[in-house]
Amino acid sequence: VQLVESGGGLVHAGGSLRLSCAVSGLSFDEWTIAWFRQFPGKEREGIVCTRRDGSIYYDDSVKGRFTTSTDNTNKTVYLQMNSLKPDDTAIFYCTAAPLVRFSWSYCGRSRVEYDYWGQGTQVTVSS
């Protein structure tokens, strides 16, 4: 199993980035992909995840600015990040969990609920 993130970098406030998470060894029929971030010195926290009913949870801090999408053919999950702020500066991770672990109305937002992780990609937003 491999999850490989790419697309991070340095951007000015107000700019955009698109993160990619290339997934191998897992089926999107059985596994769900979420996005986490980690601020320096802080715990990793879930910001985007997909419930079993297909609806997507967005943390309030990113709602309206970040959007996730999936390319099933290329087995890649994207995180489009718009209107970036300096407070968004963090390492971003994609991660995978079995779909059946979550309920129809809930998806995991803590690190322990996920099994496989990418290596992380740094996003730095300058003011």
Query: Alpha carbon of 12 to those of 26, 39, 62, 114: distances in Å?
Result: 35, 18, 17, 31
Three-state SS for the chain is: CEEEEECCEEEECCCCEEEEEEEECCCCCCEEEEEEEECCCCCCEEEEEECCCCCEEECCCCCCCEEEEEECCCCEEEEEECCCCHHHCEEEEEEEEEHHHCCCCCCCCCHHHCCEECCCEEEEEEC
Tokens 């943390």, residue located: 59
Q: What is the reported pLDDT for 118?
A: 98
Q: Residue 12 has which token pair?
A: 């000015």
Q: Residue 14 has which token pair?
A: 């107000």
- Identify any residues that bridge with 46 across adjacent strands, giving them in sequence order: 36
Question: For the segment 78-102, what is each residue's pLDDT rounded down to a tens digit?
Answer: 999 999 999 999 999 999 999 999 9
Question: For the segment 36-69, what is each residue's pLDDT rounded down to a tens digit?
Answer: 999 999 999 999 999 999 899 999 999 999 999 9
Q: What is the reported pLDDT for 36?
A: 98
